[in-house]
C-alpha cells in the first residue's frame, strides 16, 4: 500500500469507530504513531462525535489530548468534546488530567466552559467546574454567565449564579495590595529565600486574590511555591478553630520541574500547581476551613491519580511546626498558619485513617521521604 492508501485506511477505521481495525492499522504501520497531525486531527474529531473507544485508542497511540490540533485551535480535545456535548469523553479526559483552562493575553479562561454555557450543556459545565474551570474570567467583555444569558440558556445561567458566577459589570476590581502582603513575603524570604516570580494570579469574587510565588533553591535542588493572599480573608472555622482561621500554602517541587506558561498545557507538569490553586480557593468557595493542624484531601472517592505520570491521589496539608510556620500580621495581630503540602498514595491515606497521623509520619521518617514532591517515589 502507498502512504496515501495507508492513511486513508487508517482514517476509515478511525472514523467508522472500528477499534480492532484501527489497532491493526497502527500495529502494521507504526510510523503512523509519529504523525502528530493525523493523531491530533482524528482525536479532535472523535472527541467531538463522542467516540470514546477511538479517543482511547488514539491517546494510547501517543496523541496528546492537551495539544491543539493545529495553530488555529484554542486548546486540546476537551474543547471539541464540550462543543459536541460528548459528556462521556469530557468525563474521561478530565479523569486523565485534561486541562480545562488556557491563558491568552494574560487572562486565564476556560473555552470549553464558555462553549458549554453558550450551548446550554449543563452536565458538561458541572464536570468542568468540578475540575477547576474558571467561570468568572472576562474575555471579549463577557463571562460564562454573559454567554449563557445571551443565548437563552437559563438553566445553565441559574447554576452558574448558584456557584457565584457574575456578569462583567458585577465583578469587583481586586483590592490594592494590603500592607500585610509585604510583611508576609518578607517573612517567607527571611526563612526560605527570595521569591523569583509569580506563576499565576487570579481574582475570583468572594475569595481572596491569590498569587503563587516561586523560590528557586539551588542548594537544596528545589523550587518552593507559596501562596500570598489567602490570609487576606478569614476562613470559616468552627468554635475552637480560631488559631487556624488564616492560612497560606507551601509546596516544594524538584528544581527541574517545568514552570513555564507552556508547561501549563501539560497535565503531567501542571497538576501540582492546579491543585495548589484549588486548595487555596476551596475554603472560601465552600465556607469552610483547612481542618486544623492537618488534613488530607483526596481526588475523588475512591481517590484517582492526579495525572498520568503519578499514582498519587491525595494531598496532605500539615501545619508547619517550626518558627516559619506561624506569622503575625502587623495590622491586627492575627496569626497566619503555613501549611506544607505532601503528595500521598491512596494506601497512605488509608493508613492514616486506620492508625492515625503519627504512624504515617513515622513511616515517612523511616523512609527518609522529603518535603520535595516526587510523583514516582
What's the pLDDT tens digit per position in 260-303? 655 566 778 888 988 998 899 899 888 999 999 999 999 999 99
If you search the block for the grid coordinates 450543556, which residue do you land on?
A: 121
What's the pLDDT tens digit per position in 197-226? 555 655 455 567 788 888 988 888 899 999
Distance CA 56, CA 61 (A): 9
Domain limits, CATH 1.25.40.20, in the chain: 3-168
Contact in structure between 210 and 227 (CB atoms under 8 Å): yes
Judging by DSSP bridges, how do beta strands 210-217 and 222-228 pair with one another? antiparallel
**Range among 8-17, 195-204, 353-362 with highest mean pLDDT value:** 353-362
Q: What pLDDT, on the 0 to 100 scale, is given for residue 40? A: 86
Q: In the CATH scheme, what is the code of domain 3-168?
A: 1.25.40.20
Q: What is the 3-state secondary structure (H, E, C) of 99-125?
A: CCCEEECCEEECHHHHHHHHHCCHHHH
Q: What pLDDT, on the 0 to 100 scale, is given for residue 264? A: 61
Amino acid at each position: 500500500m502507498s502512504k496515501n492508501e495507508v492513511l486513508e485506511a487508517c482514517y476509515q477505521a478511525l472514523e467508522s469507530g472500528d477499534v480492532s481495525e484501527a489497532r491493526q492499522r497502527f500495529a502494521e504501520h507504526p510510523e503512523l504513531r509519529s504523525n502528530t497531525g493525523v493523531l491530533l486531527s482524528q482525536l479532535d474529531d472523535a472527541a467531538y462525535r463522542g467516540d470514546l473507544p477511538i479517543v482511547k485508542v488514539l491517546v494510547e497511540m501517543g496523541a496528546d489530548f492537551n495539544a491543539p490540533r493545529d495553530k488555529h485551535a484554542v486548546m486540546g480535545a476537551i474543547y471539541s468534546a464540550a462543543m459536541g456535548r460528548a459528556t462521556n469523553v469530557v468525563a474521561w479526559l478530565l479523569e486523565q488530567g485534561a486541562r480545562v483552562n488556557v491563558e491568552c493575553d494574560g487572562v486565564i479562561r476556560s473555552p470549553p466552559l464558555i462553549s458549554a454555557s453558550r450551548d446550554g450543556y449543563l452536565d458538561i459545565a458541572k464536570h468542568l467546574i468540578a475540575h477547576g474551570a474558571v467561570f468568572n474570567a472576562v474575555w471579549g467583555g463577557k463571562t460564562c454567565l454573559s454567554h449563557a444569558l445571551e443565548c437563552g440558556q437559563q438553566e445553565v445561567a441559574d447554576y452558574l449564579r448558584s456557584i457565584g458566577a457574575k456578569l462583567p459589570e458585577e465583578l469587583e476590581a481586586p483590592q490594592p495590595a494590603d500592607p500585610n502582603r509585604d510583611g508576609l513575603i518578607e517573612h517567607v524570604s527571611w526563612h526560605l529565600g527570595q521569591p523569583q516570580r509569580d506563576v499565576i494570579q487570579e481574582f475570583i469574587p468572594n475569595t481572596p486574590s491569590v498569587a503563587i510565588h516561586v523560590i528557586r533553591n539551588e542548594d537544596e535542588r528545589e523550587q518552593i511555591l507559596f501562596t500570598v493572599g489567602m490570609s487576606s480573608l478569614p476562613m470559616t472555622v468552627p468554635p475552637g478553630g480560631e488559631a487556624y482561621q488564616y492560612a497560606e500554602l507551601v509546596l516544594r517541587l524538584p528544581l527541574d520541574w517545568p514552570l513555564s506558561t507552556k508547561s501549563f498545557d501539560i497535565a503531567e507538569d501542571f497538576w501540582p500547581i492546579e491543585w495548589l490553586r484549588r486548595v487555596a480557593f476551596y475554603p472560601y468557595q465552600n465556607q469552610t476551613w483547612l481542618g486544623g493542624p492537618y488534613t488530607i484531601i483526596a481526588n475523588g472517592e475512591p481517590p484517582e491519580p492526579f495525572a498520568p505520570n503519578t499514582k498519587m491521589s491525595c494531598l496532605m496539608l500539615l501545619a508547619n511546626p517550626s518558627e516559619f510556620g506561624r506569622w503575625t500580621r502587623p495590622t491586627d495581630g492575627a496569626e497566619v498558619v503555613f501549611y506544607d503540602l505532601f503528595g500521598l498514595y491512596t494506601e497512605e491515606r488509608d493508613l492514616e485513617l486506620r492508625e492515625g497521623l503519627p504512624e504515617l509520619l513515622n513511616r515517612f521518617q523511616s523512609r527518609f521521604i522529603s518535603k520535595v514532591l516526587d510523583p514516582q517515589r
